[in-house]
A and B are shown apart, each in its own frame.
Chain A
Amino acid sequence: MLDPVLLIALPLLTAFLVPLVRRAWRPLGEALPLLTLLFDLALAISYVPRALEKPIVVIIAGWRPPLGINLTIGPLGIFMAVMILFVAVLVAIYSIWYIRVEPKERYCMLCLMLVTGSLGMVLTGDIFNLFVFMEITSISAYALTAFIRDRDGSEAAFKYLIIGSLASNFFLLGVVLIYSSTGTLNMADLAAKMPSVDPRIAVPAVILMVVGLGVESEMFPLNGWAPDAYSMAPTPIGAVFGAIVVKGAVYALARMLYTIFNFQGVIHFLVIMGIVTLLMGEMAALRQRQIKRMLAFSSIGQMGLILVALGLGTAGGLVAALFHMLNHALLKALLFLTAGYLVYHSGSKEIADMDGMGRRVPLLAVAFSIGAFGIMGLPPLNGFWSKFLVISETVKAHYVAIAALALVGSVIEAVYYLRVVGRLFFKPADERVRAARLPVSAFVSLGLLVVAVVVIGLYPGWVMHVLQPAAHELLDKSFYIHSVLGP
C-alpha cells in the first residue's frame, strides 16, 4: 500500500528531475514525464475502491486535523484525480511528437507542475493549501500560454496573468476573512463551524471566493482571458486548460459552496450565471473564424452548462454536473488534439482553410467529427447522456425557462460544429494540402479518447457507479465532516 501523498509528490519531483535526466540520457528524459503520469494514474485507480468505501484521510507530519494539513481522498476527489491524470497521460503521449519546439524540458516541467497543482487542488483538505495549489496550477498555466515566444502569446499570457492573479488575491482575502472569524483552515472544521459565523463576514468571504474561483472556471464576466489563452498556447495545452485547469477550479467552487458555506442563495445564483455564460459562449463561438478560438468559446459554453447543473442543488443535478465535467474533459481534449493536427496539416488556423481535410487525412477528420457529435449530444456518444441529464434535472428543479435556454444554446452549438464538419468532408480540398499520415503518438492518444467517448456513451452505468457517491459527498456535509474529524 503506497502512500497517497505520492499522487502529488511524484509529478512534482519529476518536474524538477526532467531537465537533469534529459542532460544525462536523453531518451529517458523524453519518456520520464509519461512514465510518471502513467504510474500516477495506476496509483490513483488503485485507490478508487477504498475511496468509494470510505474517504481516505492522509495525515501529514503527524498533526491530526484540524491542526495540520491533511489530504481527504473521497469519492469526489478520486474521481477528479483519475480524470485529470487520464487526460494528462493522453496529452503527454500526444506531445511526444507534437511539441518540437525546444526547450522541450521546460514544456514537460510546466505540464507536470500544472498536473501537480490540480491534483493537489482536488485532493487537499485544507483551504490555504487549496490556494497554494491553485497558484501552482495557474502560474504554470500562465507560463505555458506564453510558451511559443511570439507576440500574441505574450499578450494572451499577460492578460491571463493579470486577471488570474487579481482573482487569486481576492480568494486569499476570502480565506483571511474566514480564518479571522473561525480560527481554522481545515475544510471539515470550517464546515462544522460555519453555521455559527456572523453572516456579515461569511457573505463577503463567499463572494470573494466565488469571484476568485470564477475566473479560473470561466464564469461569465470573468472569462475574457480564456479564448486568447486557449488559442495562443500550444494546442495540447488547450486540451489541458479545458480538461484540467478549469475542472480543478469548478471542483473548488463546488467544494466551497456545498461543503463549507452551503448558502442556498449563492448556490442558486450559479444557475443564472451559468445560463448567461452558456449563451454568451455559444453566441461568441458562432462568430469565430479560427478553429481554436471557436473551441475555446465552446468550452466556455459547456462550463456554463456545468455551472447550471451545479447550481440546482439537488443530488440529480450534481450527478449531471460531474458527469458532464468528465464528458467535456474527454471531448474537449479530443477536439483540441485533433484540431492541433488539422492546423498543422492545413497550415492555417482559419476554419475556411480546412476544406476537404476529410479526404486528405480521413482519420483525423473522423476523430474531430466524433468529438463534435459528442459535444452536440448525439445519442450513442457520452455527451448525449450528460446533456440529457442536465436538462432533465433542470426541468425537474422547476427551471423550465433555463432548460429551454440551454436547449437554444445546444442548437447554436450544433450549427457551428456542423459547419466545420461539413467543410471537412463536403468541400473540395485545396491543392496544396497533401495526404498525410498521423504519427503513432497522435494515433494512440486520439484512439484512446475515441474509445473512452464511445464506451462511456454505451455503458454510462459504469461511471454513474462512481458519480453517485461523489455527489453524495458534496451534498451531505456531515458525512464529510465526520470522515475527516472523526465522529
Chain B
Amino acid sequence: MVYYVAALSLILIGTYAVLTKKNIVKIVLGLSIAETGVNLLLITIGYVKGRTAPIFSDPSFRPEKMVDPVPQALVLTAIVIGLAVTALALAIVIRLYDHHKTLNIEKIRQLKW
C-alpha cells in the first residue's frame, strides 16, 4: 500500500514540477520524477508479498515462490527510454542556455502562436 501512495505522489510531484516551475532544469527534473513514479507503480503491481526475484539461481526456487517477472522487464525498458529522454532534454537545455544565457522559461519565448 505504501508503495502505491509513494508512486502516485511521485507522479503528481513530477507533473506539478513540469507544470509550474520556471527553471528549465527543474522541468526536466520533474519529468524524471514522474517517470520514476510510473516505474515504481509498475514494480509494485507485480510484487507479491514474501516472494523472491524471478531468477533461477538455485534449483530449489519454484515459480510459485516468485513475483511476476513481466513488470520488471517492462521497467527495465522504461528506465532506458527515460534515460534517453532525459539525456536529450539536458542536451537541448545546454543549447538553449548557450543561445539565451538564461534558464528562465519566461524569458525564452521567441515562438508564439
Main SS of chain A's interface residues?
Answer: helix
Chain B, 5-29, CB within 8 A of any chain A CB: 11, 15, 18, 24, 27
Report A308 CB to chain B, min CB distance, Å.
23
Q: CB of A257 within 8 A of chain B?
A: no
**Tally of A-B residue pairs with Cβ under 8 A?**
83
Query: Closest residue to A175 on the B side, CB-wise?
Result: B74
Interface string of A75-111 (1 = CB under 8 A from B): 0000000000000000000000000000000000000
Q: Contact: B88 with A228, CB < 8 Å?
A: no
Contact A228 B111, beta carbon cutoff 8 Å: yes
> Are B31 and A176 touching (Cβ within 8 A)?
no
Task: Give A286 Cβ to nearest chain B Cβ, in Å.
Answer: 12
Does A115 interact with chain B (Cβ within 8 Å)?
no
By the criterion CB–CB under 8 Å, are B88 and A169 in contact? no
Given contacts A158-B92, A161-B89, A176-B42, contact A166 B84 (CB under 8 A): no
Assess whether A146 is interfacial by the CB under 8 Å rule: yes
Question: CB-defined interface of B81-95 with A at 8 Å, one 1/0 digit per residue?
Answer: 100110011001101
Contact present for A166 and B88 (CB under 8 Å)? no
A197 to B71, CA, bound (A): 19
Contacts of A166 in B (CB 8 A): 15, 18, 31, 34
User: How far, in Å, is A256 (CB) from chain B's closest CB?
Assistant: 18
In the complex, are the beta carbons of B85 and A161 less than 8 A apart? yes
A59 and B43 alpha carbons, distance in the complex (Å): 27
**CB–CB B113/A161 < 8 A:** no
Binding site for B on A (CB under 8 A): 128, 132, 135, 139, 142-143, 146, 149-152, 154-159, 161-162, 165-166, 169, 172-173, 176, 179-180, 185, 224, 227-228, 232, 284
Closest 6 CB pairs of A and B: A151-B99, A154-B95, A180-B45, A228-B111, A135-B81, A165-B85
Question: Could you list which residues of chain B lie within 8 angstroms of chain A, going by C-beta atoms?
Answer: 11, 15, 18, 24, 27, 31, 34-35, 38, 41-42, 45, 70-71, 74, 77-78, 81, 84-85, 88-89, 92-93, 95-96, 99-100, 108, 110-111, 113
